[in-house]
Amino acid sequence: MSQLTIADLAELLRSTTGSGERVTDYGAFAQTEFAELGYDSLALLEAASRLQREHGVTLSDLEISELHTPGELLALVQSRTVGAA
């Protein structure tokens, strides 16, 4: 399995909500608060469920609630997949 990228995460989050435009500035996207992007706690829990199904990464509800940006989520997911193949 290849390492999840910010582009992959942006598409996963976009498809989770079923709306929103495709991201073109991944640097800004990674640094923007979830609330500002329009992702609420339910969207993040759904994204965590998809990350588990599609990438084998398990995140607790507490971990999800403590994340503020897509960049933080990506870093956490990547830390769980280092060395996984």
Residue ranges per domain, the chain? Answer: 6-81
Q: How confident is the model at residue 1 (pLDDT cuts 50, 70, 90)?
A: low
Q: How confident is the model at residue 69 (pLDDT cuts 50, 70, 90)?
A: very high
Q: Does the structural domain 6-81 have CATH classification 1.10.1200.10? A: yes
How much is the pLDDT for 81?
Answer: 81
Q: Which residue has the higher pLDDT, 66 or 17?
A: 66
Nearest CA among 41, 42, 38 for reference residue 67 = 41
Alpha carbons 50 and 31: distance in angstroms, whole number: 22
Six-digit token string for 83 = 């060395």
The torsion angles phi and psi of 23, rounded to 5 degrees, stand at -80, 135
Six-digit token string for 33 = 């608060």
pTM of the model: 0.89
How far from the centroid of its chain's Cα atoms is residue 61's Cα? 13
